[in-house]
Chain A
């Protein structure tokens, strides 16, 4: 739990993954045979095997904000990194790489909150004027949202469970796997939230025989939620399709058979909008049979995302059993 907390609270908006990458490296380096960081910043860890190449991908970036303008009074205007909702951003705390915290507010004469846009919002870091603000924050600096890590009733509430939970799963799998014939590549990708970019280049480098992404998915289990047959606590979800990939039948069967054999509960994920790393991986070079394991997560892209730890345990089990 300590590791998961460290992972989710770490700073790492898309394109700014240095800290989270270092944290992951620290936790896996004893357990892998090779570590490589590529041009875009993907972390590619290998556990050598004699069999086919299998790639697991979990993105380590999170959504965030990027500074576009600082006004005379020291208020900071920004644009989004990934899917950031103006309404959900209101009065949230954000953190810059240097640890400076800001609070998001809006031009209060704005009346129609439905039409609130990021253009109407600003970050207040408590600076008295432009000069003071610029000593700490510059145009182009990125910030991530802050959100306390809480575990109660065997459920975790935190920011950035999308997708530090995926990173956590892969780290745990890396530690637990002992015997395997598959040539395993664990890729912690960058820039997923802004267009699956790290997955694209790392898949080109690795060019695996099979690929499985590990990421979060939405749920339909909250009051008046959009219809979706996913609930937290009912096991990992095997992706059938999202907007960018249809799981390859071979990979789907691999996941289903493993889950059945080891009595791991699972659900099926049909996600209408959005996608994950395998959306880019499966059309790399001559194609890669791909699929995904998704962790049911409530309130994705908010500062209080929620997962069930039993789903997490079952996901680790599923990953390790597929490999061995």
Chain B
């Protein structure tokens, strides 16, 4: 499933193909599957205990970072801009797919001996790159590609080394894949599994999703940055590969609910599942919009550590992914067995 999900392209705002895969996969397990106005896919699973009128929202975003066609040159080359945060230096010589019809293309730049000394010294700018789709003229290119077409990386899902996986878009197809697994079980409470759109361009899908659902609690599943690589001091390692799923405490968009993040950490520790706290406050994810939705929603985040995130060659360790899945499952069972958890926020109401 993860292979299928990561190999499909779903740049922010163009998530249909990914959504269709997920929809097909989950429709038989759910009470209802709906697509809202922005394109969020909301899978609802009615709780088996009608006396519990509480809603748990699980959320993972379907979209991935990519590029967009902004111009076609007279000689038939494609100029582009990024959709979401991409380091331009990783783009050169990469193979991409352009538009719905997935026209193959290559990101190019003029040869080194044609570059001026100043150009050689500085990192190549996105504005100086182009995509070669093998068209001979502007007219020919225009028949294959339109302005505004989304561009995704061409990257296969590959096993390598000691249970490592290389793929594009692990951020956040790992979350999507785990959500799909969770939908296969039934729960006492109402479960809303949300596959959101446009996270990479500003948490937009989750904003309307959370508003519409008005959940009583939320858990966000993510692929997050892992910087345990040469040249980075240990105190700057955001997460460490192989040390289990990372629980967020705080980032630029949210401050996780302390009860929930502590619960997730101790649940893992008590059950001998590797776990770590995320050790940077940079970045942000759907929790940002969810936890400040309406009157506020207790929200936590679990992430699978991914090296080289936002590139065609993100890398994760299978064990981290499996541990993440286990921990989410364990959390859902815990919520079932501890109905008091739902009340722990309401108790504060009358002081």
Specify which of A14, A39, A69, A140 is in contact with B295 (CB 8 Å cutoff): A39
Which chain B positions have C-beta within 8 A of A37?
A: 348-349, 351
Chain B, 198-241, CB within 8 A of any chain A CB: 234-237
Q: Is B255 an interface residue (CB 8 A)?
A: yes
Q: How far is the CA of A320 from the CA of B152 in the complex (A)?
A: 59
B279 contacts A204, C-beta separation under 8 Å: no
Contacts A38-B295, A40-B296, A119-B236 hold; do A66 and B250 have CB atoms under 8 A apart? Answer: yes
What sequence of 0s and 1s flags, for each residue 239-280 of chain B, a beta carbon within 8 Å of any chain A beta carbon?
A: 000000000011001010010010000000000000001011
Closest B residue to A119 by beta carbon equals B236
List which B284-299 residues lie within 8 A (CB) of chain A: 291-298
A197 at the interface (CB under 8 A from B): yes
Contact B235 A71 (CB under 8 A): yes
Contact stretch, chosen from A74-82, A212-220, A228-236, A310-318: A74-82
For residue B31, CB closer than 8 A to chain A, the reply is no
CB neighbours of A201 from chain B (8 A): 292-296
Cβ < 8 Å to B, chain A residues 42-90: 42, 66, 68-69, 71, 77, 79-81
Q: Does A159 contact B (CB under 8 A)?
A: no
Question: Given B237, B249, B291, B348, which contacts A140 in the complex, CB threshold below 8 Å?
Answer: B249
A35–B349 Cα gap in the complex (Å)? 8
* Chain A, 9-48, CB within 8 A of any chain B CB: 14-15, 25, 29, 35-42
Q: Which of A25, A68, A79 contacts B351 (CB 8 A)?
A: A25
Band of interface residues on B = 20 to 34
Residues of B with C-beta under 8 A to A35: 350-351
Contact B291 A36 (CB under 8 A): no
Q: A15-B255, A68-B280, A68-B281 are in contact. Are A39 and B249 (CB under 8 A)?
A: no
Q: Is B345 at the interface (CB under 8 A from chain A)?
A: yes
Complex contact B351–A77 (CB within 8 A): no
Minimal beta-carbon separation of A119 from chain B (angstroms): 6
The residue of chain B having its C-beta at the shortest distance from the C-beta of A199 within the complex is B292
- Residues of the B chain whose Cβ atoms lie less than 8 Å from the Cβ of A119: 235-236
- Give B315-351 as 1s and 0s: 1 = Cβ < 8 Å from A's Cβ atoms: 0000000000000000000000000000001001111
B288 to chain A, nearest CB (A): 8
In the complex, the answer to whether A39 meets B250 with C-beta atoms within 8 Å is no
Interface residues in A, total, Cβ within 8 A: 31
Q: Which residues in B have their C-beta under 8 angstroms from that of A25?
A: 351
Query: In the complex the two chains form, what is the Cα distance from A164 to B188 in whole Å?
Result: 44
Q: Which residues of B contact A80 (CB under 8 A)?
A: 281
Would A77 and B235 be within 8 Å (CB), given that A14-B255, A15-B255 are in contact? yes
Other-chain residue from B235, B249, B348, B349 in contact with A66 (beta carbon distance below 8 A): B249
Select which of B250, B253, B277 is within 8 A of A15 by beta carbon.
B250
Number of cross-chain contacts by CB at 8 Å: 74
A79–B282 Cα distance when bound, in Å, is 9
Residues of A within 8 Å of B281, CB to CB, are: 66, 68, 79-81
Give residues 196-251 of A contacting B (CB, 8 Å). Answer: 197, 200-201, 204-205
A40 and B291 in contact, given A14-B255, A139-B279 (Cβ under 8 angstroms)? yes
Chain B residues near A139 (CB, 8 Å)? 249, 277, 279
A194 touches B280 (CB 8 A): no
* Nearest A residue (CB) for B253: A195
A39 near B345 (CB under 8 angstroms)? yes
Q: A66-B281, A80-B281, A139-B277 are in contact. Are A204 and B295 (CB under 8 A)?
A: yes
Cβ-neighbour of A205 out of B249, B279, B295, B345 (below 8 A)? B295
Chain B: which residue is nearest A191 at the CB level? B255
Q: Could you tell me if B294 and A69 are in contact, using CB atoms closer than 8 angstroms? A: no
Binary CB contact string for chain A from 168 to 200 against chain B (1 if under 8 A, 0 otherwise): 000000000000000000000001001101001
> Do B280 and A79 have beta carbons less than 8 Å apart?
yes
Q: How far is the CA of A130 from the CA of B239 in the complex (A)?
A: 19
CA distance A81 to B293 in the complex (A): 21
Q: Which residue of A lies closest to B298 (CB)?
A: A39
Pick from B261, B280, B296: contact of A39, CB under 8 Å: B296
Q: Which residues of A contact B349 (CB under 8 A)?
A: 36-38
B234 pairs with A69, CB closer than 8 A: yes
Q: Using Cβ atoms and an 8 Å threshold, which residues of chain A touch B277?
A: 139-140
B247's closest neighbor in chain A, by CB? A140
- B261 cross-chain contacts in A, Cβ below 8 A: 140
Q: Roughly how many angstroms separate A177 CA and B319 CA in the complex, as a whole number?
A: 61
**For the complex, what is the distance from the CA of A69 to the CA of B253, rounded to whole Å?**
20
What is the minimal beta-carbon distance from A197 to any residue of chain B, in angstroms? 5
| Interface pair B351/A39, CB less than 8 Å apart | no
* Closest A residue by C-beta to B294: A204
**Complex: A68 Cα to B251 Cα, angstroms:** 11
Most buried by A among B277, B345, B351: B351
Q: Which residues of A contact B295 (CB under 8 A)?
A: 38-39, 201, 204-205
Query: Are B255 and A71 in contact, with the CB atoms below 8 A?
Result: no
* Partner among A29, A69, A140, A197 whose Cβ is within 8 Å of the Cβ of B292: A197
Q: Which of A38, A68, A77 has the largest count of B CB atoms less than 10 A from its CB?
A: A68
20 contacts between A and B (CB under 8 A): A14-B255, A15-B255, A36-B351, A37-B348, A38-B295, A38-B349, A39-B297, A39-B298, A40-B296, A41-B348, A68-B281, A69-B237, A69-B279, A77-B235, A79-B250, A81-B281, A139-B277, A191-B255, A201-B293, A205-B295
Q: A81-B281, A194-B250 are in contact. List 4 more A-B contacts (CB 8 A).
A: A15-B250, A36-B349, A77-B235, A140-B250
Interface residues of B (CB under 8 A from A): 234-237, 249-250, 253, 255, 258, 261, 277, 279-282, 291-298, 345, 348-351
- Chain A residues packing against B (C-beta within 8 Å): 14-15, 25, 29, 35-42, 66, 68-69, 71, 77, 79-81, 119, 139-140, 191, 194-195, 197, 200-201, 204-205
